[in-house]
A = this chain, B = another copy of it.
Amino acid sequence: MSTPEPFPHLSSEEFRKYGYQLVDWLAEYFSGIDEMKVIPDVEPGEIRSMLPEQAPETAEDMEDIIADLDRVVMPGMAHWQHPGWFAFFPSGVSPVSVLGEFVAAGLATQGMMWSTAPAATEIENTVLDWLVELLGLPSSWRLDTGPGGGVLQMSASDSTHLSLAVARYHSSEAGHPTDSLVAYGSSQAHSSIEKGARIAGFRHIRSVPVDTFFSLDVDALQQQIDLDLAEGLIPTWVCSAVGTTSTTAMDPIRPIAAIAKKYGMWHHADAAYAGSAMICPEFRELQDGVELVDSYTFNPHKWLLTNFDCSVFWVADRSKLINALSILPAYLKNESSENPSAVDYRDWHVPLGRRFRALKLWFVLRSYGAENLRSFVRSHVDWAKDLEGRLMTDPRFEIVAPRTLALVCFRHVGGNEATKQLAKAVNASGTSYLTPSVIEGTDFIRVSIGSTWTERRHIEALWDLFDENAVAV
């Protein structure tokens, strides 16, 4: 390693020494995490108070910096990859993915254009085309053979925002006043719909009622559109949730697609969590009609053992995306959209620069292989099914929403207070952590199974916590 005076870059020897030390530190973190408290016991400001008010003027020792991982960072860690983490949705991580991220950081390549990063670009092209097949998605979404294509984004929020911005752009370019455009999602759709629509410039964002299973009510969508049309507004964008955040309810893609087509709306599918499950053919019926959408997003960083950030965004027609985002002259845009061998990803999303995120995904898909990834997902679904069965047969509990994948939603029959109490007791255990939630006025408990290190015994332990802490009826 060259160390030009006077710059104290770590030398080759130092990089090896501290690199090995941190490999060991992480190996111990992974193997010791089961013994840690899931959620830290820390007040706002406590971590900051351990840090100096000013940046150091002179170089500090690496030994001291590394020691602060234990002194400062660990006391303030909510351990998302704890095997007892049943909150929100899982945070994808695996040792091999972490190694992939490490190498990508070291290479420090900038993937804005094919020419500035041929390997990063083509590996991303390839693994996203692989995923089209692995998830049973329309082969026309493959970059190499179809008019569509995929691109890695930071998060599903970014993907959803992007689809909204592209839809709004084309609609206003077609002559519609921006303030007349309307975006639709169900009342159970993720908060990123409302947030993304607002950021993208929609003034009309409709929260469409759901049916008894918490799926978008297609009749209600049609009624809302009729009302909006009567007011001179322009239906522009609609979201099908492939798995809502609250209960993984599935919106009916096929009839929503028929409505989208009728009014020329952009139809976006948000499969942030559930998309990973589509690697198993038996779950694909949950997204029947998916070949009809204009865009689709899912997060390998949730349930496919890949580190955040790694959100896939596919479009059925990449020229619509590129025409909205490229600021090149028209003739160059077409060249770019026509050449699937030299993609300039800068024209596929908001940022210009981009990391070599495909590297960790490539590592993960190869190191596990498709069959192990299927087993990973299926185990969680099986464990969720078992837990659901137990909850259904215990008179103290009731299921509040159909289980579609590995999220179980239940409550204490004693009502909201009894349910909140139970959630509180579990979260106070230090060994398990889950998200208490509310749907249509009903308090319930979400159990999301999917953490990398979770084993069946952790579900047993969680059940024991339910059993011990739920008041009798």
List residues of A whose CB falls within 8 A of some B CB. 1-2, 4, 6-10, 12, 14-16, 18-20, 22-27, 29-31, 34, 40, 42, 44-48, 51, 54-60, 62, 64-65, 69, 72-81, 83, 88, 91-99, 101-103, 105-110, 114-120, 122-123, 125-127, 130-131, 133-134, 144, 154-158, 161, 165, 168-169, 172, 177-179, 191-192, 194-196, 198-201, 203, 301, 307-309, 324-325, 327, 339, 341-342, 350-355, 359, 363, 365-372, 375-376, 379, 452-456
Contacts and interface: CB of A to CB of B under 8 A. Distances in A.
Contact of A122 (B22, B45, B83): B45
A244 to B, nearest CB: 15
A453 B2 contact: yes
A76 to B, nearest CB: 3
A1 B57 CA distance: 39
A178 B172 CA distance: 11
Contacts of A29: 106-107
Nearest to A94: B9
Contacts of A19: 19-20, 23, 26-27, 99, 102
Given A20-B23, A365-B56, A105 B101 contact: yes
A161 B158 CA distance: 12
A391 B4 CA distance: 24
Contacts of A73: 107, 119, 123, 359
Query: Per DSSP, are chain A's interface residues mostly helix, strand or loop, or mixed?
Result: helix
B172 A342 contact: no
Given A93-B108, A99-B18, A178 B203 contact: yes
Nearest to A117: B78
Given A54-B130, A325-B195, A455-B4, A119 B309 contact: no
B55 A130 contact: yes
Given A108-B92, A109-B78, A454-B4, A27 B15 contact: yes
B55 A353 contact: no
B350 A10 contact: no
A172 B203 CA distance: 9
Given A106-B98, A366-B60, A48 B15 contact: no
A145 to B, nearest CB: 10
A74 B59 CA distance: 33
A42 B96 contact: no
A105 B102 contact: yes
A2 B31 contact: yes
B56 A366 contact: yes
B372 A195 contact: no
A90 to B, nearest CB: 10
A78 B195 contact: no
